[in-house]
Amino acid sequence: MTDISREQQIEFEAAVFRRLVSHLQSRSDVQNIDMMNLAGFCRNCLSNWYRDAAIEAGVDISRDESREHVYGMPYEEWKKLHQNEASDAQKAAFELNKPKE
């Protein structure tokens, strides 16, 4: 692998995260439950990880603030605009595949 500095690694990872968030904001047709069923994470997971990182760095942000960062708008607004009721098949798949606590 090409030698890169720690600072470059952080820059690249941050750019990838921003691109992923932007992509997910533009793909509001992709439902969180489908992401969970296929990949094991969703927008809420990303916002939780973002909040965890902030808190670890000593910045206390709320769950709502971290979700707004990922969704690009308040979560409740996003749900009203884009979230559909999950089908029985989606719910059943989630129960089979949901992360173990």
pLDDT tens, residue by residue, 69-94:
999 999 999 999 999 999 999 999 99
- The mean pLDDT value for 15-40 works out to 96
The confidence score (pLDDT) of residue 101 equals: 66
Closest to 78 in 3D by CA, of 41, 30, 34, 36: 30
For the record, the structure tokens of 55 come out as 């808190």
Task: Give the pTM.
Answer: 0.88
**pLDDT confidence of 66, banded at 50, 70, 90?**
very high
Q: How many CB atoms lie within 10 A of CB 7?
A: 8
Triad 83, 88, 71: Cα angle to 5° = 20
Whether residue 14 is predicted with pLDDT greater than 70 in this model: the reply is: yes
Judge whether 12 and 4 are in contact, CB under 8 Å.
yes
Residue 100 scores a pLDDT above 90: no
